[in-house]
Amino acid sequence: MFFASKVGIPIFVTGGIGGVHRHGENTLDVSSDLTELGRTPVAVVSAGVKSILDIPRTLEYLETQGVCVATYATNDFPAFFTERSGCQEEKVFSCLDGFDRSFSSSNNKFCVEDKVPCRVDTPEDCARLIDANVKLRLGTGILFAVPIPKEYSASGRLIEDVIQRAIGEARTKNITGNAETPFLLSRVNELTGGASLASNIALLKNNARVGAKIAAALAQLRGHQNGARTMEDRRCKINQAT
């Protein structure tokens, strides 16, 4: 994200972002992804938060950082391997109905009470949200949460059960800190016979498709705006000349 922002790349695609680790209220183990989202004006397209993490507390932390979180074509925040995490919108509305809704979550409750801020339904909606964020000079990123393709959702539910088993094994073996995430990912892949890796690749490709569409929509939007500014400049010069 940091380097993307420095060279003018407005959109970054990944599989899933890091977040607050389970039992993070005790360990204070929080990914720097969340801090970076709070200070870098780049839009991130992902399948939500990695399933091995604490999704409700991650969304709470993002709210604290002032990050706009939007679900893509769904009311439910995705849980990486599955379409739904149980974190839903308070009510259905477009992020672009008003800047107060788009950029302030003071009237919205997050995942602890099954809420996320808003949703977007098209690449054009995403582009307008990015454009508004830049114009307001908020200096923060945007998280677009894209659900995994439906054909992989059934496998996702199985994977979630395996994740719980792997977490239990990590606790039993007292695997914590930097060693925990590699252990969990490796163990989940082993227990699912590679199904988790296949789902991971599928959601990453899907995120890339969505991200590319958003980038194209943003380029088109900015092209129209630049064209409008050029015409206005020409009118001003003509008026000055006369």
- Can you give the pLDDT at residue 185? 86
- Can you give the pLDDT at residue 84? 81
Per-domain residue ranges for the chain?
A: 2-151+197-241
13: part of which helix (H) or strand (E)?
Answer: strand 11-13
Q: What number of other Cβ atoms are within 10 A of residue 4's Cβ? A: 16
SS3 123: helix
- Can you give the pLDDT at residue 90? 55
96: part of which helix (H) or strand (E)?
Answer: none
DSSP characters for 150-210? GGGHHHHHHHHHHHHHHHHHHHHTT--GGGHHHHHHHHHHHHTTTHHHHHHHHHHHHHHHH
Question: Could you list the pLDDT tens digit for every one of the 242 residues in the chain?
Answer: 999 999 999 999 999 999 998 777 777 888 999 999 999 999 999 999 988 888 999 999 999 999 999 999 999 899 898 888 877 655 444 555 544 433 333 333 334 444 667 899 999 999 999 999 999 999 999 999 999 998 887 677 788 889 889 999 998 999 887 788 889 989 998 998 988 888 999 999 999 999 999 999 999 999 977 765 655 656 665 666 66
- Can you give the pLDDT at residue 120? 95
pTM of the model: 0.80
Tokens standing for residue 69: 């979180």
Instruction: HSE, CB side, 13 Å, CA atoms: give it for residue 178.
Output: 1
- Can you give the pLDDT at residue 86? 75
- Can you give the pLDDT at residue 126? 97
238: part of which helix (H) or strand (E)?
Answer: helix 195-241
- Can you give the pLDDT at residue 87? 78
- Can you give the pLDDT at residue 176? 82
Which CATH architecture group holds 2-151+197-241?
Answer: 3-Layer(aba) Sandwich (3.40)
